[in-house]
Amino acid sequence: MREEHYWPEFDSDAIETEPEPAEENDEELVGALLDGPVVLERPRSRATRRRYAVGRVFLGIGAFLALFVVLYTADLIFSAGTVPRGVTVVGIPVGGLARDDAEAVLRKELEPRLTAPVRVRAGDVDAELDPIASGLGLDWPGTVTQAGTQPLDPITRIASFFTTREVGVVTTSDPDVLKQSVTTFAAEKLNHDMTEGSIRFESIPGSDGGVTAIAVEPRQRQEMADIDAATQLIKDNWLGHAAVELPVRASPPKATAEGVRATLEQIVKPTVALPMHIRGDGQDAVLKPDGIAGAMQFAAVDGGALEVRLDQGKLQQLAQPQLAGTEREPKDAQIVFTGASPTVQPSEDGRKVAWTKTFAPFLEAVKRPDVHELRAVYEPGKPKVTTQAANSLGVKEVIGEFTTGGFSGDVTRNVKTIADKVAGAIVRPGDTFSLDEHVGPRTASQGYLKAPVHEDGTGAEVYGGGINQFTSTLYNAVYFAGLADAGHSPHSFYIDRFPPGRDARSLQDNGSAVDLRFTNDAPTGIAIQTLTSGNTVTVKIWGTKRYRVESLTGPQSDVVDPPVRTGDAGRCEPTPGVPGFTVTDTRVLYDLGSGAEVRREPRTVTYQPRPTTICP
């Protein structure tokens, strides 16, 4: 059999390119050649195959685009009039629902929440706001409309299958009502002052002075930062599941909670766990826990810690009466008048508890778990006027004296009481004597009786009534001693038992105290001697005489006749009236050695008229 061979024409593309790798049907071709003669077709080139592949790709893309257009169009058609996919309103999914259906879903889910309190968080405060009282409501159609319309952007539509989009609600409100409500809400619930960290105490019922120490947690001061911004935040977010966060302006306290608790556990609780025993010489004092707690003070310091301070004055007030028997008051040297001339009664040293030194180891002593105790520390108490000082005062002669009388009844007792308290008083050179400070209050416990306030037996009855008699006597003795007046008050109306312009009182018309003061401006000291006998009182000023003193009393001027008044029936006491007038008294001081005038000291006094009282 004759074999025929068909050779391909020369193909330049076949020469320029490398041989193509054998394809899977090469084995079939070889088998055919072995079986018999075949006719070889011209093989396809690589470029031809590439053009074929590209055509298939474009065909596939075209088919995909056609399908996409069909699906996109179908999606547009079927989703028309519905809420866009993936939309949520305050967390409620409404995407893909018809608008009416979306509104129905929202009403079902949200209507119960329209009347529920709105949770608000501002700084360190969680509170609730009444939405009804605040004028808050919901625009249902507006909320659905806010969700938007179906997007035309294919990318957005594809993304909506995999994402969600929160659109929130459309709130209705009365702006003025809402702002006023938020303003009031902030003032009453959110704003607050700072609470500095501290420690407080509560008594333990049934215990003997036991207390429980409790931490006062520090708290910042805060105030609503911006009412308008807060109002808008509440309006926009009031239906959300989370609390509405509102910004505040805050001022932090100095102490921290950790610092307060550390002080409580390490210092305060051990301090008030047991009574404190103060061991004195022969007698002890006990400070109970509640008394110790009352003396504890706390101050926040840098770093957040709490510093503990003890008010030693309060501790002393509790302990001093219990240790009073172990102390001894110093006694000043006194000038006593037992004969014709004064003598010095020696001073005596005292013995006092040095409280500052006693309490110094207090906070160390409370660290002992079994007993809390301190040892009282004593120090000597020195008298203000020592024996040596009294002997060197130059008290050797009477330099001024004065006597008055005319009082009676309980006034006599009161005059003697105050005179005895002043007797022996020493005034050193340059010192000022205060009658109020020296004799103390005019009370029954001090030996005073109730008597008419005025020494002539008129006026309201008060404790110490009538002691103006002694005050005027003392003033005149000081006047003739040539000592400096440091302040006194004349009577409101004239009493004729004293020279015009030379009287003084220590009780006002209503019984309240008024002071008499004078200054020892002499180079030597002075001592005061008082003598009472019957209805008279005498005051002598002892010292070293410097002056001869004269009193010049001027004429009365601006005389005002006393008015007449009718007293109350049943309680009336007729009294004679006293005219009012103005008078000037001049004290003239002469040098004792040369007799020359040293100075003149005029003083003008105006007395008010005292009414004449007629009883009905």
Task: Decide which of 289 and 28 is more confident.
Answer: 289
Q: Does residue 10 carry a pLDDT above 60?
A: no
Q: Mind listing the pLDDT tens digit for each residue in 531-540?
A: 999 999 999 9
Identity of residue 600: R
Q: Does residue 24 carry a pLDDT above 80?
A: no
Q: Does residue 99 carry a pLDDT above 90?
A: no
Question: Token digits for 43?
Answer: 């093989």
Q: Does residue 83 carry a pLDDT above 80?
A: no
Cβ–Cβ contacts within 10 Å for residue 466, how many? 28
Question: By C-alpha distance, which of 360, 461, 371, 474 is closest to 415?
Answer: 474
- Please give the domain boundaries of the chain with CATH numbers for all domains: 81-253 (no CATH), 257-387 (3.10.20), 394-614 (no CATH)
| Confidence (pLDDT) at 562 | 93
Q: Does residue 27 carry a pLDDT above 70?
A: no
**Average pLDDT along the chain:** 86
Cα separation, 561 vs 550, in Å, equals: 30
Q: What are phi and psi of 357, to 5 degrees?
A: -70, -35
**pLDDT (average), residues 307-311:** 93
Task: Decide which of 134 and 474 is more confident.
Answer: 474
Q: Does residue 227 carry a pLDDT above 70?
A: yes
Name 193's Cβ contacts closer than 8 Å, sequence gap at least 6.
Answer: 221
Question: By C-alpha distance, which of 116, 104, 110, 119 is closest to 91?
Answer: 110
| Confidence (pLDDT) at 87 | 81
| 564-566 vs 461-463, strand pairing mode | unpaired
Q: Which residues of 281-307 are buried (b: 16+ CB within 10 A; e: fewer)?
A: eeeebebbbbbbbbbbebebeeebbbe
Contact criterion met (CB below 8 Å) for 350 and 383: yes
Q: How would residue 324 be classed by pLDDT, with cut points 50, 70 and 90? A: very high
Q: Mind listing the pLDDT tens digit for each residue in 165-214?
A: 777 778 788 889 999 999 999 999 999 999 999 999 999 999 999 999 99
| Confidence (pLDDT) at 81 | 56
Cβ–Cβ contacts within 10 Å for residue 615, how many? 13
| Confidence (pLDDT) at 586 | 98
The fraction of the chain above a pLDDT of 70, given in percent, is 87
Q: Mind listing the pLDDT tens digit for each residue in 542-571?
A: 999 999 999 999 999 999 999 998 877 777
Helix, strand, coil abundance in the chain, percent, nearest 5: 30, 30, 40
Q: Mind listing the pLDDT tens digit for each residue in 397-434?
A: 999 999 999 999 999 999 999 999 999 899 999 999 99
Q: Mind listing the pLDDT tens digit for each residue in 433-466?
A: 999 999 999 999 999 999 999 988 888 899 999 9
Q: DSSP 3-state assignment of 338?
A: coil
φ/ψ bin of 67: left (φ > 0), alpha (ψ from -120 to 50), beta (otherwise): alpha
Across 82-91, 200-209, 272-281, least confident range: 82-91
Name 51's Cβ contacts closer than 8 Å, sequence gap at least 6.
Answer: none
**pLDDT (average), residues 570-579:** 82
Cα separation, 566 vs 102, in Å, equals: 96
Q: How would residue 6 be classed by pLDDT, with cut points 50, 70 and 90? A: very low
Sign of the CA dihedral running 462, 498, 412, 331: positive
Place of tokens 């699906």: 71
Name 53's Cβ contacts closer than 8 Å, sequence gap at least 6.
Answer: none
**pLDDT (average), residues 71-91:** 66
Question: By C-alpha distance, which of 506, 536, 518, 530 is closest to 481?
Answer: 518
Whole-angstrom CA distances from 575 to 208, 455, 456, 572 are 61, 14, 11, 9
Q: Does residue 1 carry a pLDDT above 60?
A: no
Question: By C-alpha distance, which of 291, 300, 295, 299 is closest to 311?
Answer: 295
Cα separation, 506 vs 291, in Å, equals: 39
Question: By C-alpha distance, which of 228, 203, 223 is closest to 214?
Answer: 203
| 343-345 vs 334-336, strand pairing mode | antiparallel
Q: Does residue 31 carry a pLDDT above 50?
A: no
Task: Decide which of 603 and 148 is more confident.
Answer: 603
| Confidence (pLDDT) at 138 | 80
Question: By C-alpha distance, which of 517, 519, 481 is closest to 398?
Answer: 481
| Confidence (pLDDT) at 567 | 78
**pLDDT (average), residues 108-119:** 82
| Confidence (pLDDT) at 35 | 53
Report residue 5 CA to chain centroid gap. 120
Name 78's Cβ contacts closer than 8 Å, sequence gap at least 6.
Answer: none
| Confidence (pLDDT) at 60 | 76
Q: Mind listing the pLDDT tens digit for each residue in 498-512?
A: 999 999 999 998 889
Contact criterion met (CB below 8 Å) for 298 and 307: yes
Question: Token digits for 110?
Answer: 């949200």
Q: Mind listing the pLDDT tens digit for each residue in 367-400?
A: 998 999 999 999 998 998 889 988 888 898 999 9
